[in-house]
Amino acid sequence: MKVAWIDTETGGVDPKTDALLQIGMEIFVDGEARGSHLFHVAPFEWDRVNDEALQVNGFTREQLTEFPSPMIVHARIENIISQYVDRYNPLDKFIFAGYGARFDMDFLRAFFDKNLNKYFGSYFFSLPLDVMSFVAEGIMIGTVKPMKSFRLSKVCEQLGVELGEDAHDAMADIRATRELYSVLMKRKADRDSNIY
């Protein structure tokens, strides 16, 4: 099985109008790590970048002008994922995994579209693996206590996963999400073994 753990930092919350600024990606094939990649992306000239988003991700407008062009980053990403997926085989795709994964998936799909590439669905299955849904399942089955906030940093804090000061850095968020997933799966397995 091919899994791409992906996190993005963006210039807002609307993938159609807001910029994609950072993409972190860790690739696993049959459980084996195959690559870790971090991309900074200059906005398209028509994309919005909100001040509130910059406060969250810590980028400055000056930094954005120094990032590689979106066309260059898109080409690099497609080159990497093409090494693992035959886009003409409908069963040979990545599972897109992350925390709040639909948000990141929608931004990356829009990024492909803005680069005039309509083949995003040839590389990724349409259903993401969203670790946030496993937090909800944990609450439902009693392996996670209810909490006020489901932001990644708060969930990691409650479940003892180290995120550190790099929250809202794409690679730090990916690594914390993968560890969080492992913790949630272990708690579920421990519960199941006590039931049966």
Domain boundary among 130, 148, 173: 130
The predicted pLDDT at position 166 comes to 64
Domain end marker among 114, 130, 146: 130
Tokens of 176: 């914390």
Question: Which of the residue ranges 13-22, 97-106, 124-133, 169-178 would you say has the lowest mean pLDDT?
Answer: 169-178
- Looking at the chain, the whole-number percentage of residues with pLDDT higher than 70 is 96
Same domain, 183 and 118: no
Helix (H, G, I), strand (E, B) or coil at 70: helix
User: Do 116 and 148 fall into the same domain?
Assistant: no
Same domain, 47 and 125: yes
The answer, yes or no, to whether residue 44 has pLDDT greater than 90, is: yes
pLDDT tens column, 122-152 = 999 999 999 999 999 999 999 999 999 999 9
User: Which pLDDT does position 196 carry in this prediction?
Assistant: 59
- Are the C-beta atoms of residues 36 and 14 closer than 8 Å to each other? no
Q: Are residues 149 and 124 in the same domain?
A: no
Q: What pLDDT is attached to residue 167?
A: 65
Clarify whether residues 16 and 110 are in a common domain.
yes
pLDDT at residue number 135: 97
Q: Count of domains in the chain?
A: 2
| 121 and 150, same domain (yes or no) | no
**Of 104, 130, 156, which marks where a domain is finished?**
130
Check whether residue 78 and residue 170 sit in a common domain: no
Residues 30 and 114 in one domain: yes
Mean pLDDT for the stretch of residues 24-37? 97
**Contact indicator for 49, 87 with CB cutoff of 8 Å:** no
- pLDDT, mean of residues 15-22: 98
pLDDT at 193: 82
Amino acid (1-letter code) at residue 138: G
Predicted pLDDT at 113: 98
Six-digit token string for 190: 């421990």
Name the residue range of residue 173's domain.
Answer: 131-195
Which residue intervals of the chain are DSSP H helices?
A: 51-57, 61-66, 70-82, 101-114, 120-123, 131-141, 152-159, 170-195
Do 20 and 98 have their domain in common?
yes
Residue 47 and residue 10 in one domain: yes
pLDDT at residue 165, rounded to an integer: 67
Same domain? 32 vs 95: yes
pLDDT given for residue 163 in this prediction: 81
CATH number for position 106: 3.30.420.10
Using the predicted structure, report yes or no on whether residue 117 has a pLDDT greater than 70. yes
Q: Are residues 173 and 90 located together in one domain of the fold?
A: no
Please indicate, yes or no, whether the overall pTM of this predicted structure exceeds 0.85: yes
Name which of 47, 50, 59, 54 is nearest 16 in CA terms.
47
Measure the CA dihedral 34/72/176/33, to 10°: 0
